[in-house]
């Protein structure tokens, strides 16, 4: 995991990180763009995710459908993801097929077609995806919580966008967004696997360096004031399950408090993975809220959520309420546990156990070549690769005093949003 990396910057601004891993004859090639829902404006929400979809619709060199067959034929896999701060595309391939991966990503960085018929077709797909998610109680609840937690910061935008915006966005809007942000000066290339670094630098330079850089709009330094008072929302919808969610503002990933909150989350709800591919399967049965809620049969499950972001985002706790319990009872129990955290000193032994579990989740999610490629680029989206290298060390620096200070700073009742999803069938 700590093997050396090579970092170069091409003349057009493309940042390239390379890491040789010779355990298997495969490579994982990632291209990350600094664009996501955080970069969107009212009326254009969901445009970054839609552009990601359009990037699979072909170029003159690689028409739609050709790449799927080519990658499958060569035994590879590919995918893409859009998030708050970034959009990424990757291929994991046999090492001797790396030229295909490099060639296709360089090509669609500049030559994607955005055919109007394809745009219209994909609008239907995107809207259907959005409508499908609206059938998920937690999607409905979390979207409402996001809007309540941020009044104007674009972190309030759902990555999928609003239905109204998805119906209004045009082909020219999409193509303009693509040409603005899909730009070597706004991108990071990460490549891990079985290759020779000198040979790979030449391959990458040959394919990517001819692409001309363009000015990138600066990222606005948007700071939203703290929440002034607790806000409570209720969402009703189909289903049979009641959910309770609590959310507070959280530190940015580059802040020291982020690591303290990671340990606090592990202590309270159990460790969670930052890696989209997961890893570890570490039990949360030793966490305080599992013992207080699940073991005492008030909740079916409990989990926390802390995301690594450029700016301060959210820390959330979500409980699946048992049918014979109530969200009010679960909320009171969580509040009691937070009060206990603030009033009774946490022992170093308990912190060490929580940090060890968080560390294990991190390590398990960093093992294979695809995950190594992920971390190379992902950490650059909000910090740099040293953030990844120092992650475990920063967890180990958390002390009872630091944890207590972070809990008092962030878990303030007046600065939280509480949300309850009640199934319509449960309404009297």
Give pLDDT, residue 281: 59
Q: How far is CA 176 from CA 19, 80, 111, 182, 338, in A?
A: 34, 20, 13, 10, 47
Give pLDDT, residue 428: 41
Do the domains 231-426 and 6-208 match in fold?
yes
Give pLDDT, residue 72: 86
* 144 exposure class (CB count in 10 Å sphere: 0-12, 13-18, 19+): middle
Give pLDDT, residue 427: 46
pLDDT digits (tens, 9 = 90+) for 150-179: 999 999 999 999 999 999 999 999 999 999
Predicted TM-score (pTM) of the model is: 0.94
State the architecture of 6-208 in CATH terms. Answer: 2-Layer Sandwich (3.30)
- Examine the pLDDT at 426 and tell me if it is beyond 70: no
Name which of 266, 279, 257 is nearest 355 in CA terms. Answer: 266
- Taking the domains of the chain in order of start, what are their residue ranges? 6-208, 231-426
Q: What is the rounded average pLDDT of the residues 337-366?
A: 87
For the ranges 61-75, 159-173, 301-315, which has the lowest average pLDDT? 61-75
pLDDT digits (tens, 9 = 90+) for 375-406: 999 999 999 999 999 998 999 999 999 999 99
pLDDT digits (tens, 9 = 90+) for 193-239: 999 999 999 999 999 999 999 999 888 778 889 898 999 999 999 88
For the ranges 64-68, 173-177, 267-271, 362-366, which has the lowest average pLDDT? 362-366
- Examine the pLDDT at 276 and tell me if it is beyond 70: no
State the architecture of 231-426 in CATH terms. Answer: 2-Layer Sandwich (3.30)
Q: What is the rounded average pLDDT of the residues 122-137?
A: 95
**Mean of pLDDT over the chain:** 93
Give pLDDT, residue 97: 94
């Amino acid at each position: 995991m700590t093997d050396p990396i090579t970092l170069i910057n091409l003349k057009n601004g493309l940042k390239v990180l390379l890491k040789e891993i010779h355990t298997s004859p495969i490579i994982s090639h990632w291209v990350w763009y600094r664009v996501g829902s955080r970069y969107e404006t009212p009326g254009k929400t969901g445009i970054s995710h839609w552009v990601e979809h359009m990037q699979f619709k072909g170029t003159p060199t690689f028409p739609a459908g050709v790449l799927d067959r080519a990658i499958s034929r060569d035994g590879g896999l590919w995918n893409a993801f859009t998030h708050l701060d970034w959009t990424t595309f990757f291929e994991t391939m046999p090492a001797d097929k790396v030229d295909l991966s490099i060639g296709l990503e360089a090509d669609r960085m500049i030559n994607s077609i955005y055919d109007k018929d394809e745009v219209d077709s994909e609008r239907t797909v995107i809207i259907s995806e959005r409508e499908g998610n609206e059938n998920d109680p937690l999607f409905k609840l979390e979207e409402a919580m996001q809007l309540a937690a941020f009044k104007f910061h674009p972190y309030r935008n759902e990555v999928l966008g609003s239905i109204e915006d998805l119906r209004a966005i045009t082909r020219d809007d999409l193509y303009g967004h693509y040409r603005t942000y899909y730009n070597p000066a706004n991108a990071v290339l990460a490549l891990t696997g079985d290759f020779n670094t000198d040979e790979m630098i030449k391959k990458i330079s040959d394919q990517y360096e001819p692409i001309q850089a363009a000015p990138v709009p600066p990222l606005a330094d948007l700071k939203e004031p703290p929440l002034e008072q607790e806000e409570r929302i209720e969402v009703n919808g189909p289903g049979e399950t009641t959910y309770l969610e609590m959310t507070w503002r959280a530190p940015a990933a580059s802040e020291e408090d982020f690591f303290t909150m990671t340990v606090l989350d592990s202590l309270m709800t159990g460790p969670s993975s930052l890696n989209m591919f997961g890893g570890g399967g570490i039990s949360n049965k030793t966490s305080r809220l599992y013992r207080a809620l699940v073991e005492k049969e008030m909740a079916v499950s409990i989990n926390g959520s802390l995301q690594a972001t450029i700016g301060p985002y959210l820390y959330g706790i979500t409980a699946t309420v048992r049918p014979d319990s109530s969200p009010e009872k679960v909320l009171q129990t969580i509040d009691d546990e937070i009060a206990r955290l603030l009033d009774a000193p946490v022992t170093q032994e308990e912190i060490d156990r929580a940090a060890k579990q968080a560390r294990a989740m991190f390590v398990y999610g960093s093992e294979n070549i695809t995950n190594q490629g992920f971390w190379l680029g992902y950490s650059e989206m909000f910090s740099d690769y040293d953030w990844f290298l120092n992650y475990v060390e920063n967890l180990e620096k958390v002390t009872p005093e630091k944890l207590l200070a972070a809990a008092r700073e962030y878990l303030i009742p007046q600065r939280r949003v509480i949300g309850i999803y009640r199934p319509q069938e449960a309404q009297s």
